[in-house]
Amino acid sequence: MTTMVRPATSAATLVRWWALLSASAGIAANVFLVLFYVTAKPWLDLPGPPGWFGRANDSLVVVQYAALLPVVLGLGRLMPADVRARTWTRVGLVATASLIVLQILLLTRTLPFAIQVIPASVCVIASVLWAGGISGAGIRTGTLPEGVARAGRILAVALSAGAVIFIVVFILALATGVSWLWVAGALPGAVVFFLFPGWALLLVAVGPLRRQPSARGEPFEQAGRGDVCRPEPSPLLERPVTDDAEDNQETGAT
């Protein structure tokens, strides 16, 4: 039996709203990134300004990851009793915050792209691995829907495989002198990068999110409805008084 209470603000609902903003900004950023490569063709080193598509992409990435910060923190808080969830939450927070700083330094021309791209790529990789790690915690705790958790883990595994492929192909490119090989090796990782906002969108489209009860007996929360279920003490935990016990008590009294 449960007692239903209605909280003022649902942490899980806030996660979904922030995830929607992050996913929307990420999808728009990917569109501008494609437009940048199609129009500017940076690999040809064409003369003239590269246009504003690249700058729009950089700006939207800041919005995407700024909105992802409360998602990282919120999902971690929905799994308070899972140790690995807390670890992955720290990884996600560091990666997300670092990428925001790096993108701002790039936008303000404080840091050139040639230097910024490597640590920024590491942050993106770490954020995708966070999605895979927190998805695993979501499966263990029942916090995330199965489809969301499975997609997050697939992205993390695909990125790990893509990293291995890129390293092997990059070594081949150095050995053979074929410069376009490293581009081909980077394609699997690029696909995962483009799909990452879709995982955040799944957090909104597929529900509900659930709050894992902690060891302290905190309530179980279901997002989207604002209902919290507090378990009542089970009658099985209360030791019943049997007829034999009553007879013993009467015998002792006489």
Residue 125's pLDDT is what? 94
Residue 46's pLDDT is what? 64
Residue 49's pLDDT is what? 62
Question: Cα separation of 130 and 124, whole Å?
Answer: 10
Residue 102's pLDDT is what? 97
Q: What is the mean pLDDT of residues 70-84?
A: 92
For the chain, what percent of residues have pLDDT higher than 70? 75
Residue 214's pLDDT is what? 55
pTM of the model: 0.77
Buried b (16+ CB within 10 A) or exposed e, 178-188: eeebeeebbeb
pLDDT at 107 over 90: yes
Confidence of residue 196 (pLDDT cuts 50, 70, 90): very high
Environment class of 10 (CB within 10 Å of its CB; exposed 0-12, middle 13-18, buried 19+): buried
Element (H, E) at 4: strand 2-5
For the chain, domain boundaries? 9-253
Give the torsion sign (CA, 44, 48, 50, 55).
positive
CB count in 10 Å sphere of residue 58: 20
Residue 174's pLDDT is what? 83
Q: Do residues 192 and 128 make contact, with C-beta atoms less than 8 angstroms apart?
A: yes
Residue 238's pLDDT is what? 43
Helix axes 113-141, 53-77, angle to 10 degrees: 30
Quick: pLDDT tens for 127-153. Answer: 999 999 999 999 998 889 999 999 999
